[in-house]
Amino acid sequence: MSNNKPVCVSLDDFHDYAKATMPKSSYDYYALGAMDNETRKNNRKAFSKIRIRPRVMRDVSNVDTTADILGHKISMPIGIAPMAMHKLAHPDGELATAKGAAANDTLMILSTYSTYSMEDVAKAAPDGLRFLQLYVHKDRTAASDLIKRAEAAGYQGLVVTVDRPKLGRRIADAKNKFKRPSDMKMQNLKEEKNKNEDRGTFNKGMTGTVDSSLNWATDIAWLRQTTKLPIILKGILTAEDALLAVKYKVDAIIVSNHGGRQLDGAPPSIEALPEITEAVQDRIPVYLDSGIYRGSDVFKALAYGAKAVFVGRPTLWALCYDGDKGVDKMLKIIQEEFRLTMALAGCTSIDQITRDYVRRKEQYIPKL
């Protein structure tokens, strides 16, 4: 890292650096969401409406942030969310992200739309824990091939995105006539599936190669027949769908609104979380992404029943800042913020973080 780069002490500092240095069309592609950006903005605002109820004199001289994800022990309940095209942020792209995650002993979820192949990412951080995020393609042979490659490359879970039957309307991309650079390929996809989508027009809710006919009755069964990997559904925002996930015996769900990039007007993930964890009642693990920028955000999500969270955009800003070293630094910052929040709230392990530690800003607390 060159000496003239600013010192980053919070995740917002990485964002400020990326905004000042990235090409506008690339920054906008990462930073902005669908339509009016209502959901994207509310993802962060919603965390500020939650108050932490700290307990004192609890002996917090030793605080343990370790967590478990589907039987895998990780150093903190904070992983890397799947995002497309990391090369827009740094030439080393997903290779650097994988190294940063592995250096912090935590999980990285690799996007189907990675700009390095899943095999190369595995080689870059051979000891790292990785899941593959999957968009199920209309061509099920292509989808099956991706799953088999992930298994062969040592990926330990399959994260199936279920909230993108059609591409959200991203106005900034249309105005910028965004296309990925011509020399940048989606390395997990075969050439015929690697078409550079034109986002300069409305495209009538374009799906590209993604199958918009996914349904509960047949496709969970198809996934089960295709892989022995744990199946995690990403994009759940209602108790009704969470209960269907339990019914169809998926292994976990991620409460997510796609970072506000799909349905604008959908609830912030943290607002959707309580009804989902109440409905699920610990029958399957519930995770969360969208809007995580602070260690206190992590604490609030766990208090409402999430077992872990995934950081999206801050990873890309950190990648832009200093490649794998930037991702490493970003994860260390948010882990230490989380550890400090635990200590100040009176918790020494994540199993102690319960709903008793949070309330909504407007919520009435009865007298004891």
291 in a labelled binding site: no
76 in a labelled binding site: no
Angle at 71 between CA 328 and CA 310, to 5 degrees: 40
- Give one word for 228, left, alpha or beta, with left for phi > 0 and alpha for psi -120 to 50: alpha
Contact status, residue 263 vs residue 34, Cβ threshold 8 Å: yes
161 in a labelled binding site: yes
By the 10 Å C-beta count (0-12 exposed, 13-18 middle, 19+ buried), 359 is classed as middle
Read off the tokens for 147.
Answer: 């799953």
C-alpha dist (Å) from residue 56 to 29, 107, 347, 357: 44, 32, 9, 12
Residues with Cβ within 8 Å of 98's Cβ and at least 6 positions away in sequence, in order, are 108, 110, 121, 122, 124, 125, 128, 130
29 in a labelled binding site: yes
256 in a labelled binding site: yes
66 in a labelled binding site: no
170 in a labelled binding site: yes
Contact status, residue 128 vs residue 197, Cβ threshold 8 Å: no
Of 311, 251, 244, 310, residue with least CA distance to 285? 251
For 64, which DSSP code?
A: B
Helix, strand, coil % in the chain, rounded to nearest 5: 45, 15, 45
Dihedral sign, Cα of residue 291, residue 294, residue 298, residue 303: negative
What are the residue numbers of the active site? 258
Residues forming beta bridges with residue 358, ordered by sequence position: 52
91 in a labelled binding site: no
C-alpha dist (Å) from residue 314 to 39, 278, 317, 360: 17, 29, 5, 25
137 in a labelled binding site: no
310 three-state secondary structure: strand
Euclidean distance between CA atoms 110 and 155, whole angstroms: 9
287 in a labelled binding site: no
Bridging pattern class, strands 72-74 and 67-69: antiparallel
135 in a labelled binding site: yes
State the binding site for glyoxylate.
Answer: 29, 135, 170, 261
State the binding site for FMN.
Answer: 82-84, 111, 133, 161, 234, 256, 258, 312-313
State the binding site.
Answer: 29, 82-84, 111, 133, 135, 161, 170, 234, 256, 258, 261, 312-313
